[in-house]
Structure 1
Amino acid sequence: MIPAGFSAPAPDVALDALFVPFASGELRWPEDGRVLFLRARDGFRLRELARPGWLCVQGFKPFAEALQRSGLNVGEVATDERFPLVLVLPPRQRDEMRALFAQALQHVAPGGVVLACVPNAEGAKSAEGDLMRLAGPLRSVSKHKCRVFWTKPGAPVDVAVRDEWLALDAPREIAPGLVSRPGLFAWNRIDAASALLAEHLPDDLHGRVADLGAGYGYLSTQVVARCPRVTALDLYEAEARALEPARMNLAKAVADCGREIAVATHWHDVTRGLPQRYDAIVSNPPFHQGRADLPDLGRAFIGAAADALLPHGRLWLVANRHLPYEATLAERFGIVRAVTVQAGFKIIEASGVRT
């Protein structure tokens, strides 16, 4: 049984290392208590140190909800807001990371500090070099196999580079009619597994359809293009940054198909269940967080789909060939059919939901 809101346990090493300069006395907390934390992650040290003046920004729904459950203030930062201290846990993808550093420097107050931490094995050296390119010489320490580095108070910012890097986060065309943005899953290409599922979608899918783990919306655009009897389409995606390109892609797909389809995007953790019932569900479910394989995440998607399908509903699923989903599918569906196995992937249709 997969618990609601299932997600991988978050390693705390980077979060713990981030606060080392305060423990050592090299940095002091702002007198006004205001701190902006970009890509914040819940953890013991954060809960211990955070104060009411902190604002945590986190676009991945399960992590945002974990922060909220710990009583932390989670939200978006206003364009004109400035903070004396900006904390950053940078992502691995470099364009996304550069855009995040630019955002941090956009929101730091005059005389303020931007502080970041990156595990050594995840590109700490290049990340430090990028922040240095924006804000000049940095201070740094190593701890817990991580590199912690920060700007000098009031460091002059290379505004031209900052503005150039801010633009890196904007949706960009990656294929004719498709836009995406750096850091999303398969952000700069059409994922091979999703393309395989799209090729095998039956044209008799109808009514209200959901796409679970929709990313930037490629699979949903294919539902629109290939399934003329679909009248409504809901995209569910846990990564908030995917929703803008998904909306853009779906708007074009609907315009191109020449018929009316009710389309909605939802920032949602699928493992917590779905709020509506569906005639069909399509999914290329995630099976990892970071570098850790988590087949239970895919199993949770299957469970959520089974709970949300109407009695006549059908699930169309693509997965890596090695993933052990068959037992879960057999528990939840009366009919499980392997449509094809090729190129390391398997396409499965499941129907006859077991209640």
Structure 2
Amino acid sequence: MSTAVYELLLRHPDLITANTLIIGAEADLPAGWQTLLKTTGAQVLTWDWLTAQAYRPLGEPQVRFAIPQPQDITDKQVILLWPKAKQQALALLQLVATQVQECWIVGANDAGGKSIGKACAALSESSEKTDSARHCSLWNLQLRANNEFNWLKQAQSFNWQEQAYLTLPGVFSHGKLDTGTALLLEHVPAPSHGKLLDLGCGSGVIGLSMKAAEPALDITLADIDAFAIRSS
């Protein structure tokens, strides 16, 4: 995605009100977008630190860096920026459906924006594409009510050296150990002491498995993605 998703929303300023909650990860902000949010008081909830930083002038509580939870959505008009990871998108919609039955979704066409209605068919009573511009699509969904939601039930895990590692939807290599990391772990031994930084930690498998092998290590796990931080 790029500024295009916001530019499409700028064509519909009536959707941006004090009761609007925008959920998503997109750090490229077009001219006029932050001004609209500041004027209306619409809120942003993002799991992406770069997006949170891009919105820094608005400050908290208007902009929050966190994993979305049901209580964040109560009585809100929700606009979801369609993520590239379909599993993550569908999980977010299940969460939204615990609190409200209407959701607006905007997505880049090359990331599945054209087929959002089809992708969400099992979760929605109806879907309508209301606009298309800047290679993006805007959809309105009437969601089927969902009585409960727990992120841990959306997680998948994998094993490495008799340890289990959990990943939430959207985290790199969700539910499995990718070939590159497996190769690295096989051939790069853990240092016996000192400090280790696992930058872009994802599930945390590199840092945590090295800590398991060498307990004297002082490890730091870091990532810009709140879902990765929670997973690790």
Q: 1:86 corresponds to which residue?
A: 78
Amino acid at match of 1:97: A
Match for 2:225 among 217, 221, 239?
Answer: 239
Alignment partners' CA distance in 2, 1:40 and 1:92: 10
User: Following TM superposition, by how much is the alpha carbon of 1:84 offset from its aligned partner in structure 2, in angstroms?
Assistant: 4.2
Partner SS state of residue 26, structure 2: coil
Answering whether residue 54 of structure 2 is matched by residue 69 of structure 1, we say no
User: Following TM superposition, by how much is the alpha carbon of 1:206 offset from its aligned partner in structure 2, in angstroms?
Assistant: 0.6
Q: 2:103 corresponds to which residue?
A: 114
Q: 1:38 corresponds to which residue?
A: 23
Query: CA 1:115–1:203 in structure 2 vs 1: closer, same or farther (change >3 Å)?
Result: closer
Answering whether residue 134 of structure 2 is matched by residue 150 of structure 1, we say no
Q: 1:102 corresponds to which residue?
A: 94
User: Following TM superposition, by how much is the alpha carbon of 1:226 offset from its aligned partner in structure 2, in angstroms?
Assistant: 3.1
Q: 1:137 corresponds to which residue?
A: 126
Instruction: Give aligned-pair identity as a percent.
Output: 21
Query: CA 1:14–1:69 in structure 2 vs 1: closer, same or farther (change >3 Å)?
Result: same
Superposed CA offset, 1:221-276 (max 9, x none): 2212333542x211111111012221xxxxxxxxxxxxxxxxxxxxxxxxxxxxxx
Match for 2:193 among 190, 203, 206?
Answer: 206
Answering whether residue 168 of structure 2 is matched by residue 175 of structure 1, we say no
User: Following TM superposition, by how much is the alpha carbon of 1:83 offset from its aligned partner in structure 2, in angstroms?
Assistant: 3.6
Q: What is the number of equivalent residue pairs in this alignment?
A: 221
**Which aligned pairs between 1:283-298 and structure 2 lie closer than 5 A?**
none
Partner SS state of residue 82, structure 2: coil
Q: Is there any run of 5+ residues in structure 2 with no aligned partner, and where?
A: none
Query: CA 1:205–1:214 in structure 2 vs 1: closer, same or farther (change >3 Å)?
Result: same
Alignment partners' CA distance in 2, 1:169 and 1:49: 37
User: Following TM superposition, by how much is the alpha carbon of 1:127 offset from its aligned partner in structure 2, in angstroms?
Assistant: 2.0
Query: CA 1:165–1:118 in structure 2 vs 1: closer, same or farther (change >3 Å)?
Result: farther
TM-score normalised to the size of structure 1?
A: 0.55
Alignment partners' CA distance in 1, 2:120 and 2:149: 11
Give yes or no for contact 2:167–2:231 (8 Å, CA) kept in 1. yes
Give yes or no for contact 1:124–1:147 (8 Å, CA) kept in 2. yes
Q: 1:226 corresponds to which residue?
A: 213
Partner SS state of residue 103, structure 1: helix
Amino acid at match of 1:207: G
Structure 1 outlier segments of 4+, above 4 Å: 27-30, 163-169
User: Following TM superposition, by how much is the alpha carbon of 1:78 offset from its aligned partner in structure 2, in angstroms?
Assistant: 6.1
Query: CA 1:78–1:104 in structure 2 vs 1: closer, same or farther (change >3 Å)?
Result: closer
Superposed CA offset, 1:5-46 (max 9, x none): xxxxx72112211343x25xxx5555xx21111015351342
Amino acid at match of 1:194: T
Alignment partners' CA distance in 1, 2:228 and 2:117: 26
Give yes or no for contact 2:156–2:174 (8 Å, CA) kept in 1. no
Give yes or no for contact 1:40–1:56 (8 Å, CA) kept in 2. no
The answer to which structure, 1 or 2, has the higher relative contact order (CA under 8 A, 6+ apart) is: 2
Give yes or no for contact 2:82–2:105 (8 Å, CA) kept in 1. yes
User: Following TM superposition, by how much is the alpha carbon of 1:121 offset from its aligned partner in structure 2, in angstroms?
Assistant: 1.4
Alignment partners' CA distance in 1, 2:22 and 2:114: 21
**In terms of Rg, which structure is larger?**
1
Give yes or no for contact 1:217–1:235 (8 Å, CA) kept in 2. yes
Give yes or no for contact 1:99–1:169 (8 Å, CA) kept in 2. no
Partner SS state of residue 98, structure 2: helix
Amino acid at match of 2:82: P
Partner SS state of residue 138, structure 1: strand
Query: CA 1:88–1:53 in structure 2 vs 1: closer, same or farther (change >3 Å)?
Result: same
